[in-house]
Amino acid sequence: MASTELWHWRTAPDAAALEDVPPHLTPQGAQEWCNFTLWHPSALPEGCDTAVGTLRKEAPPGRTGPEAGRSPWSAANPAAFRTEISGPGRSLRLKQFLYDWAFPAADHPALWGSETRHFPIGSGRVVWLGTDYLGHAAASARMLRTTVELSVLEGEFSGEELVGLYRALRPAVAEVPARVVRTPFSGLSYWARHRDVEMVSVPTGLFTFHRRTRPHEGDWVPTAELAAFLAAQRLPASLGGFACDSAAVFADADGSRELEVIYTSGDGDELRLVLQRPGGGRMPFPPQREKHPGRAKEISFDGRTLYLAYVDDEVGPFDAMWHDEAAGVEGRLLTSARTGLDKEFALACVRAVLAAAPLTGEGAVI
Residues lower than pLDDT 70 in the chain? 1-3, 65-69, 72-73, 215-216
- The pLDDT value given to residue 265: 97
Q: Which of 17, 6, 104, 103 is nearest to 58 (CA)?
A: 17
171 and 220 housed in the same domain = no
Its domain, for residue 121, covers: 15-181
Q: Are residues 289 and 168 in the same domain?
A: no
Q: Quick one: 40 and 107 in the same domain?
A: yes
Beta strand pairing status for 146-154 and 125-131? unpaired
In a domain, 192, yes or no: no
Task: Find the DSSP H helices in the chain.
Answer: 27-30, 159-167, 176-182, 185-188, 190-193, 226-233, 343-356
Residue 130 and residue 144: Cα distance in Å, rounded?
21
Q: Are 309 and 286 in contact (CB under 8 A)?
A: no
3-state SS, residue 225: helix
Q: Closest by alpha carbon to 304, among 285, 291, 318, 276?
A: 285
Let me know whether 269 and 347 are in one domain: yes
- Is pTM beyond 0.85? Reply is yes
- Number of domains forming the structure of the chain: 2
Distance from CA of residue 239 to its chain's centroid?
Answer: 18
In a domain, residue 88? The reply is: yes
Asked if residues 194 and 256 have their Cβ atoms less than 8 Å apart, the reply is no
pLDDT at 53: 95
CATH number at residue 105: 3.30.200.100
Question: What is the model's pLDDT at position 216?
Answer: 64
347 within some domain = yes
- For residue range 202-231, what is the model confidence (pLDDT) as tens digits? 999 999 998 887 766 789 999 999 999 999
| The pLDDT value given to residue 331 | 97
Task: Confirm if 301 and 352 have CB atoms less than 8 A apart.
Answer: no
Indicate whether 177 and 208 sit together in one domain. Answer: no
> Using CA atoms, how far apart are residues 78 and 191, in angstroms rounded to an integer?
9
Q: Are residues 154 and 229 in the same domain?
A: no
- CA-based radius of gyration for the chain: 20
Chain centroid, CA 299 distance in Å: 27
